[in-house]
Amino acid sequence: MNVEIPYFARHQLSPGGTWISSRQKSLRTFKLADIGEGITECEIIRWAVKEQSAVQSFDPLCEVQSDKASVEITSPYDGVIKQFLVGEGEVAKVGQGLCLIEVAEDDTTHVESTETTGQSPVKTPVQVTHDVAEDTPTEAPPSVNVPLRKHPLDPTNDLSGTATTDHVLATPSVRHFARQHGVDLAAIAPGSGRDGRVEKKDVEAFISKVPVPDEVETASRQQEDVVVDLGRTRHGMWKAMVQSLEIPQFGYSTSLDLTRIHGLLPTLNAHIPAHFLPSASTPSSPRISHMVNPSALYPVPQPPSVPESGRFTKMTYLPFLLKTLAISMMEWPLFRASITPAPAQDTNKPTLTIRPTADLTLALSTPTGLYTPTIPSAQSFSLHALASRVTHLAYLGRQVPCGLTVKDMPRRGGTISVSNVGAIGKGEGASPVLVPGGGVAIVAIGRAKWVWDVSDEFYRPNDDGMEGERRLKIDVSWSVDHRVVEGAELAAFVETWRGWVENPERLIAVAT
């Protein structure tokens, strides 16, 4: 299979198929979505379009065959088919790219960051990749659209309006048209189409009725030096960073191979328990016939109630990385240790307090500042529960004023801090800063990216003449308190972590 994609050099496309900044057109990889029914791969029978031809969303794109099912796949976007990534008669796995579609985009970049510190929001970058993969057109088109959630720090982000717009029914081309003209679909809904769908003519009618707003007043240009206060949260960061100079830190960076967990994500996503799914969504129908009721003999225990803010539709890599980190911490008491807080005048030798649980602190970047909530006893959380907790904390953090309370941020924080700087950009090799109270180590997790690996493990000749393998890797950078931890110990600990991350199937053996 030919994997050359000539557009890459010009458009600097990240192989995950995410956005390209500030270009009029963006090239998106349309991936074979999870068709359900446990199907993991399909053969492409026939392409219904040719390369370089234009398609509208919902136009049939190709027909694929998997065991006994013949499936018609339609286009998720309006655009031009630039290149087929899988030919007729070839087999594609779920999640694999089927073709490249060039879509006309507006100029706003996906994320703008005005902060350049090491800490960053908890939202993981790979959410966007999976949005593209999930684009199977269903009866309700909102799921087809890649959510344009702006970064909380994006000055143009309007936090209040986003929720309602998502519930308006409209095809992607209508959404695009509305976006181009700065029209909020929530203002037009319901539209004139079927089921209240907003059609293009509704948008046009809206535009012609509403007078064009005046140009937004540009902030008056700054003429001279201005003095501003730091603000409470930023001042808190200042103090912590000054104290951090007391801690001798060493850094350590490596990359983890996420390919295997990437392959498991479709299965995990297909089996998110109903109590973690948003109330509005319909859970996947159970395999067992409705005629048989497990509660017939004795009531099945009710699942715990989960607040709406803690519900999610997709698993991402972050909960998985947190879970495996927590398991590794259980094997390494050193990383469950914190320096025993000593009274000021005490001249006894310093001691470490080792806790029985793996407590993790998340570095959360929010509109109101940098916060560090803690997940106590992270090893006892299931993957889904971790995802739920992370989602919930992120939701609280996004609120203005901040919804995080002292309960979420106890004085005794975690022993390892986790920062997800990969959500912001494609930076490689961040050096996070460990502050007092932040535990013995902090790890910054980068952005997952696909690379060609020709290390000995994968370097081998095969029929196509290709050697090496395409693997999904993520960079992680550690900063560790050298008063407590040796370099070799950290390296060994990271290898323990790697052993779990790169072999996710091991989680089956420890499932309780």
Partner 1 sequence: MFVSFRHVASVLGARSKPSTALVRTSASLPSTSLRPQSAIYVSTSTNPYFNLTLEDWLFRQYPAHAPLLLLYRDSPCIVIGRNQNPWKEVNLRVARERNVPWIRRRSGGGTVFHDLGNTNYSIHVPRTSFDRAKTANIVVRALRALGAEGYANERNDICVGGKKMAAVLTSACDRHVSGAAYKIVSGRAYHHGTMLISTRLDTLRDLLRVDKPTMNAKGVESVRSPVCNLVEANPRITHEAFVEAVIASFREEYDVDDEPCMVEETPEYVGDEYFKSGMAELPGWEWAYGQTPEFEYVLKKKFGWGDVTSTIRSKHGIILSSTSTLAAATTASSTNIQATLDELGRRLEGKRYGFVQDAEVLSDLEYRSGDVAQSEAGELWRWLKAEMSA
Binding site for partner 1 (CB under 8 A): 35-37, 43, 45-50, 58-60, 62-63, 65-74, 88-89, 136-139, 282, 285, 287, 289
Handedness of CA 485, 425, 130, 72 (dihedral sign): negative
Task: Please state the closest distance from residue 71 (CB atom) to partner 1, in A.
Answer: 4
**DSSP line for 95-148:** TSEEEEEEEE--S--S------SS---S--THHHHHHHHT----SSGGGGSPP-
Task: Please state the closest distance from residue 351 (CB atom) to partner 1, in A.
Answer: 58
Residues 6+ apart with CB under 8 A from 208: none
Task: Please state the closest distance from residue 481 (CB atom) to partner 1, in A.
Answer: 52
Q: Nearer to partner 1 by C-beta: 277 or 339?
A: 277
Task: Please state the closest distance from residue 76 (CB atom) to partner 1, in A.
Answer: 10
Residues 6+ apart with CB under 8 A from 507: 323, 324, 383, 500
Distance, in Å, from the CA atom of 146 to the CA atom of 26, rounded to the nearest integer, reads: 13
Q: Nearer to partner 1 by C-beta: 87 or 350?
A: 87
Q: Nearer to partner 1 by C-beta: 66 or 479?
A: 66
Q: Nearer to partner 1 by C-beta: 33 or 476?
A: 33
Q: Nearer to partner 1 by C-beta: 136 or 357?
A: 136
Residue 113: count of CB within 10 angstroms of its CB: 17
Q: Nearer to partner 1 by C-beta: 289 or 405?
A: 289
Task: Please state the closest distance from residue 88 (CB atom) to partner 1, in A.
Answer: 8
| Of residues 332, 273, 288, the one with CA closest to residue 491 | 332
Distance, in Å, from the CA atom of 188 to the CA atom of 365, rounded to the nearest integer, reads: 33
Distance, in Å, from the CA atom of 371 to the CA atom of 234, rounded to the nearest integer, reads: 10
Q: Nearer to partner 1 by C-beta: 64 or 256?
A: 64
Token pair listed for 183: 């029209």
Q: Nearer to partner 1 by C-beta: 37 or 467?
A: 37
Q: Are 316 and 126 in contact (CB under 8 A)?
A: yes
Length of the chain counted residue by residue: 512
Burial of 254 (0-12, 13-18, 19+ CB in 10 A): middle
Q: Is the peptide bond before 401 cis (omega within 30 degrees of 0)?
A: yes
Task: Please state the closest distance from residue 60 (CB atom) to partner 1, in A.
Answer: 5
Residue 182 Ramachandran class (φ > 0 left, ψ -120 to 50 alpha, else beta): left
Task: Please state the closest distance from residue 51 (CB atom) to partner 1, in A.
Answer: 12
Q: Nearer to partner 1 by C-beta: 22 or 284?
A: 284
Task: Please state the closest distance from residue 2 (CB atom) to partner 1, in A.
Answer: 17
Task: Please state the closest distance from residue 89 (CB atom) to partner 1, in A.
Answer: 5
Q: What percent helix, strand, coil does the chain show, rounded to 5?
A: 25, 20, 55
Q: Nearer to partner 1 by C-beta: 13 or 73?
A: 73
Q: Are 383 and 323 in contact (CB under 8 A)?
A: yes
Task: Please state the closest distance from residue 179 (CB atom) to partner 1, in A.
Answer: 24
